[in-house]
Chains A and B, each alone.
Chain A
Amino acid sequence: MKFHAFNDQSGGTTRPSAGFDEMVRPDGSIRPAYQKLADWLSQQSRGLMAKKQEEAEAIFRRLGITFAVYGDSASNERLIPFDLIPRIISAKEWRFLERGIEQRVRALNAFLYDIYHRQEIIRAGRIPAELITNNEAFLPEMIGFDPPRKIYSHIIGTDIVRTGENDFFVLEDNLRIPSGVSYMLEDREAMMHLFPELFAAHRVAPVERYPELLRQTLESVAPAGCKGDPTIAVLTPGIYNSAFFEHSFLADQMGVELVQGSDLFVEDGALYMRTIAGKEKVDVLYRRVDDAYLDPLTFRPDSSLGVPGLFDLYRAGHVTIVNAPGTGIADDKAVYAYVPDITEFYTGQKPILQNVPTWRCAIKDECAHVVQNLDTLVVKEVHGSGGYGMLIGPHATKAERASFAKKIAAKPSNYIAQPTLSLSTCPSNVGKGPSPRHVDLRPFVLVGDRVRITPGGLTRVALKKGSLVVNSSQGGGTKDTWVLED
């Protein structure tokens, strides 16, 4: 089974420097949250850790978690590397992150409602009109529609990087169809199996309730006319999709049907799925199919992954699509630069979490700055994903930078640039014993009748020494993430 781990836009990238290590202070002392883990690590032999590593791999092979790397045919099914050493986040740090994430996802949902209605934020002059109307991610078909509870993005994977004691930055909001949550759950399960004594020594906040909370979230946004318990289904593009494992895993864990477009049909104003027992009405569709492929009657006519008439039913309020179509306008990389303004506009508060400073090549002066400073910047395509199509200035050759400058000049509005942040490091199990490696964090957020954030999330780690690219498609791994309870 194939699994492309992080099917989204992305890439934490930076140059290692005197970076922030989450376990060890510059003076060599251990931070309190890591004290017990550090003691334990010092008692483990290299042989034992190697044996545990093999055991972990056997567990993941049995679970069938592999992932596909696009453009790498020789090894297009690989086991995603798993790092045995957990990452630890203190209760205090987590409370801060939780508040910041909740503020941000509420603001972005309010933004989505506004941008598909009166566009007050544009009228107020806080963001330019062209940023929205000219943006391919803005879906005119969604204009004027009120989704249940006015929520557009229900399932979110906010990518966060850390550069210092109190410095957390949101790298990407991932409001479309973020993936990776199955890794968070499987990593935890494997760790509890491998190191029960470590869990006994720590009070680790549980993540196992995620499927139950996901189900509650989906039920809470059932159409207004839905009577009784809503029926939920997970829509997958099929077994050849790189995240199929996760689709099937989540449907199974929630106890709902996993369906493909061909299992669904519209009849008499309702959505139905074919089941062994006959047809059954579907109220909420958790779709893992991109907007463009959802409904050949409204979007791409050549799509066979969706259901003809699905979008009409959605607009008529007869079924809920989760996440809503058109959420991409709020996690578009060109819009990203405005998220601090967006947060302030809708919440009336200063943003709790920082944005990475972003230069928009669409703006002439900013573009000039980018082209002159390519050697220090990371340049990303506005609609790119998975770490593909990006330039990491400090790691690129002169020729690569020159050819990228030409691409920017040809279509400036397609690019943004950010400084190379010095990502924090955590101890990783890399053969010769624990050694610091750069990490990022994707907490998983659910927005329905309330905002539910699973403590921790998925930590991605750049296993190559000094590397700043954590994407699984570029040689990154994952590790369990522990939020300690007070």
Chain B
Amino acid sequence: MLISIHHRTSYRYDRPFNHAIQALRLTPPTDESQIIRSWSITCPGIEYAAEYQDAFGNVVHLVTPPGETDGLEIEASGVIETNDRAGVIGSTHKIVPPAIFLRPTAKTIESPAIAALALQCCRATRLDTLHALLSSIHETVTYDTDATHALTTAAEAFRAKRGVCQDHAHIFIAAAHVLGIPARYVTGYLLIEGDTAAFAHHAWAEAYTDDLGWIGFDAANGVCPTNHYARLAIGFDAPTAAPVRGTMRGAGSEDLSVEVVVRAGDQ
């Protein structure tokens, strides 16, 4: 199906400064599950961006907005054609050994409680095990936008038994690692007809099996991705897969707001 996406990231700085720098992972890949029909990024300085494909295959634009600035608007939009593969992505970007995605980060390091849950989910096949993990995490961790924040780790969210899609994905990755299954973080978009703002800018996990390759698991919703899902970027965890990662020099604070609108069709 066709999904149209408008993704806007706005920064407001408390005082103007030079040399803002942002690494954008804002270009969705064409892969087994999706074809990019149209896509564009608007951002001050994008015409001079350094562009490359990172180790995991994400297209990155490194932008430096010109001059002194007290704010920044980054907009990505386009139309993606998706097809329903029950979450199976296959072997994208074959050069990366899947075993690399066994490495824990500060966000996905296991806790004894996560390890215990993982061990209870062991089944005869890796695929069955992953589905057991999916249901178990979905049932155990309640969706709650107030319980966690951007820096919460898998262990902390699992202790609270609450969190948002980012936390569900981190817990899923940590649990898969406990069982020796490579797992990675995906950011992307989710189309839900009707009221959807919270989920439009979405994240989930992907785990590796030898026969099917990478498969998506959305523990926040308890399902594998369908044609309502569009993939944007992958990484070890939320920070490494972040669509926008930036830094500013010197002291000061910033306000960040992200607005994502996902609609069916190509409007």
Contact A144 B96 (CB under 8 A): yes
Give residues of chain B (234-263) contacting chain A, Cβ–Cβ below 8 Å.
236, 245-247, 249
Contact A316 B96 (CB under 8 A): no
Q: Does A318 contact B (CB under 8 A)?
A: yes
Q: Does B187 contact A (CB under 8 A)?
A: no
Q: Does A197 contact B (CB under 8 A)?
A: no
Contact B103 A140 (CB under 8 A): yes
Give residues of chain B (218-237) contacting chain A, Cβ–Cβ below 8 Å.
236
Contact A312 B60 (CB under 8 A): yes
Chain B 149-170: CB-based contact to A (< 8 A → 1; otherwise 0): 0000000000000000000000
Taking a contact as CB atoms closer than 8 A, the residue among B23, B103, B249 that contacts A312 in the complex is B23
Contacts of B246 in A (CB 8 A): 297
Question: Interface centre among A129, A141, A297, A318, by most B CB within 10 Å?
Answer: A297
Instruction: Tell me, rounded to whole Å, the shortest Cβ–Cβ distance linking B177 to chain A.
Output: 12
Question: Interface centre among A122, A309, A318, by most B CB within 10 Å?
Answer: A309
Chain A 272-315: CB-based contact to B (< 8 A → 1; otherwise 0): 00000000000000000000000011100100000011001101
Contact B97 A129 (CB under 8 A): yes
Instruction: Tell me, rounded to whole Å, the shortest Cβ–Cβ distance linking B58 to chain A.
Output: 11
Contact A309 B52 (CB under 8 A): no
Contact A317 B52 (CB under 8 A): yes
Q: Does A133 contact B (CB under 8 A)?
A: yes
Contact B23 A309 (CB under 8 A): yes
Knowing A267-B64, A309-B23, A312-B62, say if A145 contacts B50 (CB, 8 Å): no
CA distance A133 to B100 in the complex (A): 6
Q: Does A118 contact B (CB under 8 A)?
A: yes
CA distance A207 to B236 in the complex (A): 47
Q: Does A143 contact B (CB under 8 A)?
A: yes
Contact A309 B99 (CB under 8 A): no
Instruction: Tell me, rounded to whole Å, the shortest Cβ–Cβ distance linking B22 to chain A.
Output: 9
Give residues of chain B (3-48) contacting chain A, Cβ–Cβ below 8 Å.
19, 21, 23, 45, 48
Contact A144 B50 (CB under 8 A): no
Question: Interface centre among B54, B95, B103, by most A CB within 10 Å?
Answer: B54
Contacts of B21 in A (CB 8 A): 266, 297, 308-309
In chain A, what residue has the closest Cβ to B97? Answer: A133
Give residues of chain B (94-144) contacting chain A, Cβ–Cβ below 8 Å.
95-97, 99-100, 102-103
Contact B55 A318 (CB under 8 A): no
CA distance A142 to B52 in the complex (A): 12
Q: Does B267 contact A (CB under 8 A)?
A: no
Contact B62 A140 (CB under 8 A): no
Taking a contact as CB atoms closer than 8 A, the residue among B64, B102, B245, B249 that contacts A268 in the complex is B64
Taking a contact as CB atoms closer than 8 A, the residue among B62, B96, B245 that contacts A266 in the complex is B62
Contact B52 A316 (CB under 8 A): yes
Contact A313 B50 (CB under 8 A): yes
Contact B95 A143 (CB under 8 A): yes
Instruction: Tell me, rounded to whole Å, the shortest Cβ–Cβ distance linking B61 to chain A.
Output: 9
Contact B99 A133 (CB under 8 A): yes
Q: Does A117 contact B (CB under 8 A)?
A: yes
In chain B, what residue has the closest Cβ to A130? Answer: B99
Contacts of A317 in B (CB 8 A): 52
Chain B residues with CB under 8 Å of chain A are 19, 21, 23, 45, 48-57, 60, 62, 64, 66, 93, 95-97, 99-100, 102-103, 236, 245-247, 249
What would be 11 A-B contacts, judged by CB atoms less than 8 Å apart? A122-B97, A129-B97, A140-B236, A141-B54, A143-B55, A144-B53, A145-B55, A269-B62, A270-B50, A312-B62, A317-B52
Ranked nearest first, the 6 interchain pairs of A and B with the lowest CB-CB distance are A268-B48, A316-B50, A143-B55, A269-B50, A316-B52, A312-B62
